[in-house]
Each structure stands twice: as structure tokens, then as C-alpha cells.
């Protein structure tokens, strides 16, 4: 059966490996994890560190989806069709009532 580790555990082990106070074998024995796995977590942490310090203002703009005029018109059309359908069903169920 495979062991699964949460992010908090992985980050603690990777941080200890980054400090290099102990060897990978010592860290592996302490946390009961294979040394190769510790190396993988350490490399992953090192590769993601630059993203951590990027300017968040620029990143948010690129993550925002762009909504075009055509998208808005399409949604307005869909809402109009749905509204007319609901009005028609309301009239069929409850008779002619002013809404």
C-alpha cells in the first residue's frame, strides 16, 4: 500500500533537506521516507521558490479570464430565451397574471 503525505509534511521534510544540517539518509530514517522521495520534494521546492516571490499584481491580470462582447451578448440572449420560457410556463400554470 502506498503512503500519501500532505503538503505540510512534504514541506517540513524538504525544508530540512534544504538546510543540509543532516544527510538525506538521516532525514529519511527520521521521517521514514525514502531518500529519493526527499530529493524529489527538495527539487520541487527549489523549482517553485521563484514563483513565490513574483509580483502578485502582474500574475492576477494574466489569470483573469477575458470576457468578450460576444460572450456577453450570447449570455444576454440565453437569459432572454429562458425568461420568455418561464413567463410562458407561468401563464400556462397560473393563468394570465400581470408580472
Specify the CATH number for the domain of residue 28. 1.10.10
In terms of domains, do 54 and 20 share one?
yes
pLDDT digits over 53-64, tens only? 887 666 555 567
In terms of domains, do 29 and 46 share one?
yes
Output 60-67 pairs: Cβ under 8 A, ≥24 positions apart. none
pLDDT digits over 24-69, tens only? 999 999 999 999 999 999 999 999 888 888 876 665 555 677 889 9
In terms of domains, do 47 and 77 share one?
no
Which triple of cell numbers denotes residue 79? 437569459
Give the separation between CA 20 and CA 14, rounded to whole angstroms: 10
Q: Which positions ≥6 away from 10 have C-beta within 8 Å?
A: 41
In terms of domains, do 40 and 74 share one?
no
In terms of domains, do 13 and 35 share one?
yes
Whether the full predicted model's pTM is greater than 0.85, yes or no, is no
Number of domains in the chain: 2
Amino acid at each position: 500500500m502506498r503512503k500519501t503525505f500532505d503538503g505540510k509534511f512534504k514541506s517540513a521534510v524538504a525544508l530540512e533537506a534544504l538546510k543540509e544540517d543532516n544527510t538525506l539518509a538521516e532525514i529519511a530514517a527520521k521521517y521514514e521516507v525514502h531518500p529519493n522521495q526527499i530529493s524529489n520534494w527538495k527539487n520541487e521546492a527549489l523549482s517553485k521558490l521563484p514563483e513565490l516571490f513574483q509580483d502578485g499584481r502582474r500574475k492576477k491580470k494574466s489569470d483573469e479570464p477575458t470576457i468578450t462582447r460576444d460572450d456577453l451578448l450570447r449570455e444576454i440572449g440565453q437569459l432572454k430565451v429562458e425568461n420568455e420560457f418561464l413567463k410562458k410556463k407561468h401563464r400556462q400554470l397560473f393563468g394570465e397574471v400581470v408580472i
